[in-house]
A and B are shown apart, each in its own frame.
Chain A
Amino acid sequence: MVAFDEMLPAEAGLRKPYEAYDSWLKNQDPARLTEKMRDAERVFRKTGITFAVYGEQEASERLIPFDIVPRIISGNEWRRLTQGIEQRVQALNAFLDDIYHRQEILRAGRVPRELIATNEAFLPEMIGVRPPAGVYTHIIGVDIVRIAENEFYVLEDNARTPSGVSYMLENRETMLQLFPELFQRIKVHPVENYPQLLRQSLAAVRPNGVSGTPTIAVLTPGSFNSAYFEHAFLADQMGVQLVEGQDLRVVDGRVAMRTTEGYKQIDVLYRRVDDAYLDPLTFKPDSALGVPGIMDIYRAGNITIANAPGTGIADDKAIYSYMPEIIEFYTGRKPILGNIPTWRCSEPDSLKYVQEHLAELVVKEVHGSGGYGMLVGPAASKKEREEFSKKLAVRPSNYIAQPTLSLSTCPILTEKGLAPRHVDLRPFVLVSDRIRIVPGGLTRVALKEGSLVVNSSQGGGTKDTWVLDD
């Protein structure tokens, strides 16, 4: 199966969005480019972007490899994508509002009740809560893959705490430093204003009754968290405080942070702490990462938590397969962006099919993320497939399967010149009084030839993503 290459598709020749870049590239000395590649690595080391890799013996910090060839999207392609994304995030928020109130979609039988009832991401504590502007998931990363010129699919919705936006920003920053002349020749939509947009978006969903400029803070689990860099970076870029649970307490009916001038009320908390750890008075009692009583303050309407607790019920992989129904139910329209066909192994017929076709399928854990615990059938050995099949038989409802899609490729610079590698795209979406999408997003690239796994924890890299102002 030949993958669609976004720069040089097999039959059609150089694609239009890449023309200007290509003519620039042709005039570059390969030795200079190789040197730029090393420069890029130095820039990243200097800014300190690293991430911790789980599952390795020593929690090693390492650089996510960066490739200097941009992934380029035309203005037209982007407009179509954004329509699909907007429709999707509206549906996600409508779904969450419904699930925590009247549950019309369950009454209508469009989503099975059991899927919600037995799901750990469903938080009864959220029942009856209607956050400001009706927004539950404020920051969403929609993972999109491309199969052909006009075929885009959503791979998954990250509606809880999508990470990676700092890489999007650093990638652009690095490219601007390395190739300033490129950005003079080619008009690329900026992404640098993301932190400002994030701040505006969070400010717009401040609790009712808060007048003036609301106080925003970023809640991090602390420096041992794999995304700590990003938490610190975003707080810094937004010009707001980075706080940990121990800095916060309840004061005068609000959540407040300790400052040199005493406690200061927080109106909007961008939290990067998972639900289970958010409030030891409500959830895991032994969590030291959260803020005791914050759920009470939240229910009383005195703080906005972004994203809202319990949003995980919308991006659960078992729910994903119902997204086409969910979108139609709440928007009255067919999805603009398609879903990848998904087999739910909880259904006996599907399980049978999946076990018989393991060699062609990608099997994922329903609650997994980061590419852990998944099987890529075509790349797995017979032994690996047999072992996985046993796991499937033990807990079928823990898995879903999807066809191995031939993700589009984009060239990366290797020692032997340009070579195609598979990519995906995670645009970052901000929802408040309106929907804001920064043009582009994070392009993740599988650096190994032929590999389809783009996750950074599994050896993937990233690219700068350009949306052309054309």
Chain B
Amino acid sequence: MSFLRDALLVAGKDLRIERRSRVALQQIVPFGGVVVLLFAFALDSDRTLLHQAAPGLFWAAVLLAVVLAVGRSFAIEEANRARDGLRLSGLDGGSIFLGKAAAVAVELFLLEVIVGAAVVVLYDVSVRGVVVLLCAAVAATVGLAATGTVYGVLAGGLRARETLVPLLVLPAVTPVMLGATRSFQAALDGVPGDAWPWVQLLAAFAVLAVAAGTVAFGPLLEEA
């Protein structure tokens, strides 16, 4: 199917750029680490408090990183007017969206693994319910990457887009923040049964965000 092949082409392009420039690995991941560290200072490195709040703090750090990852994803299209090149390629807007969102999702997933490891060590968390954790993380990450990518192109080319994207993205992903935090909490508390409704909510959000982005991305990439 050419739609998916084109999406893979765009995702491959973005990930190759990331592999060369290492902005996600050397800037966005360390940023997530610093946030995790700062939360510990804010809570006065209280072991029980940190342990309890770990899922929420982890996802708050991920949400902040989403803003950076999306900013980077569209910064590479601004340089040399690469965005015009994408438009001239005649690729379908939906496939460009899927490609860019997939690349952001891969980067976020990498970040979640590394920042997650830091949280386990620093906040004294014992990992339980791996299947639930994984499902919730995948669904949440897809939802975050898709929402971020829609708002990234929505603010693309505008002045003050760097400050606009966080204001647009963060309130919109409240359901992901709640769903991911609650399902992680349930899994870590050893009651994975409580997590499934939340995982379903995350999955529904992800499906909606991907659908909305696939439809809206093409028109948003155009100049009126």
Q: Are A and B bound to each other?
A: no
**Chain B interface residues (CB < 8 Å from chain A):** none
